[in-house]
Structure 1
Amino acid sequence: MRIKPDQLAAELKKGLKPVYFITGDEPLQLGEKADEIRKAARLAGYDNREVITVDAHFDWSQLAFLADSMSIFSDRKIIDLRMPSGTPGIDGAKALIAYCARVQEDNLLLITAGKLASAALKTRWFEALDKQGVVIQVWPLEGQDLVNWLRQRLQQRGLSTDTDGLRLLTSRVEGNLLAAAQEIEKLYVLYGTGSLSQQQIFEVVADSSRYDVFNLIDSVLSDREDRIVKILSGLRGEGVAAPVVLWALAREARSLIKIKWAIAAGQSRDLVYKNNQIWDKRKQLVSHALNRLSDKDLTRILLLGAKADRQIKGQQSGDAWETLREICFKFVIAR
């Protein structure tokens, strides 16, 4: 069953499904919807959680093993399957179809994945997930959808603004929801609840963070160590949120993995670049990075990204910015 992201809360109140599949390339929505499902599952007694991440060397037999294994801590568990590339491959497709053919009520399978190609919507593995559970596709928000999202996010913090204020906020965040959420938190901390003027938003919300983060990504891909240090230091000094930087780096790593796997599967590079919206000015940068980085290198980058995420959330000691720096140089100095 396919639903829209804003329909999830109502659907969860009706009861849990055995399978949830969330896919897309908008990280904030994807993460928050997954959190909603985990919270509902915990309230329903799914106290144990197993996290597995799919990479090029992942053994899909782990899924069946976890489904059949009993936990000493709880009779019910969440199998949290993370599939950054968005596609399971041949072995993964078979494993997902087999899982859906014999779902167990004591297990809840939560799959989060990158953006799916349109052809994937017609595959047997996708149809099996759709039949047994709930499928949610998240998209970058634009136009009135973005305005509505910003208005609702402000309301969640007890904030409001007029049409001009919303228009200014929309233009500043440029569709980057992670950055938007951070800026709204900043507005709440500075002004508390109430109505915000256009001037207050103008003075607080940065308009350069997205541009500078993309400059950082280009520098990482082009192997420019000196520029990486300069941009990363500038982002931190200007108060740009660490999650915004992490989002951009992780998204680039997932994109490179997806491209690598597609090329390895026999697709032409030009077609893969077209499908992944790699246009002329970025083709050379991406090609340079693909030639330099192995699947193992990119997996290490995602693992470091998970570490930075825990540090940002206060779940692990250490400086998240130092870990972000380490991630940048993993792109540059592949080992």
Structure 2
Amino acid sequence: MATGGCERRAETHKPDASEALPARPVALPTNTESPTLAAIKQRGRLNCGVHQGLVGFAYTDNRGAWRGFDVDFCRATAAAIFGDPDAVRFVPLTAEQRFEALRDGRIDVLWRNTSWTMSRDTGGELSFAGVNYYDGQGFLVRRALNLSSAAELNGARVCVQAGSTTELNVEDYFRTRGIEYRPVVVKTEEEARQAYAREACDAFTADISALAAARTTLPNPQQHVILPDVISKEPLGPVVRGGDDQWTAVIRWTLNALILGEELGVTKANVAALERDSQDPRIRRLLGQEGEFGPSLGLPRTWARDAIAAGGNYGEIFERNLGAQSPLNLARGLNAQWSARSGGLVYGLPIR
């Protein structure tokens, strides 16, 4: 995957105590630079929390380089700050580790399939900056069981990850319907996949995107099917520490710039030409030719241009990692642009 011509490979890294940021930055007065952003600039790199290994979202290839949907958002964030998509170190985290890593300052942002829920958002310690993938929870089963619905899983053993909204959702689903089931609770999503693969359970429940990824790793993927039931709403998106509003805005508007880039037809291939030639005021504002939108965030004027140049707009990132150009071959569905013929939930906020 091209990374804007930069050859320095991003590294997996667990920052030591000297690199940690204050666990709870104080609220900022207007026009004062984010303490998180200031620390990142001084350090010279972004510390980005990602999944420890989920095909399509965050994983290392056979050369040890990080790839995936969330990884590309980490690179875009680094590019927005430094103009360099490789100015990032990836910190792989389990579901149980992810929020603590934010609180203690080991990472600056969590780009890892994390559901935006009320309890997580209102505690004051975490701040969600947007949604980069609309998902829902489902069930993976063996085709040989000949099931047409999760409602037929009465008495089934169901593999589920501990300490996640997934565990709570599956309990709600079966309890509401008066269906008996036997949860097989394991610590990590990887352990749940492995348990399902060795037939320690009859079904595996997780976000549908994660099930699609898990199916590609099984010896005979065609022998497994994702049931049509979607039992939850899972708005997945980036998370930062609470109390640093300007840093939250940096992440929110970097995500939005990639979404808006797709809406306006700005791609990795044409961003330089559009920066030079476009007379569309929306594109000129996006690419830093008009206004002071980057500096208002503490970023260069070309922050959005650099983010798009790193790995493309939202649609390019999706298709390469999750869509038709990937082994997962997931349809855009809810993750289509609002203006698409089928109409999705992805909507670019105006830069003006």
TM over 0.5: no
- The TM-score, its normalising length taken from structure 2, stands at 0.28
Structure number having the greater strand percentage: 2
Q: Which has the higher contact order (CA 8 A, sep 6+)?
A: 2
- The TM-score, its normalising length taken from structure 1, stands at 0.29
Structure number having the greater helix percentage: 1
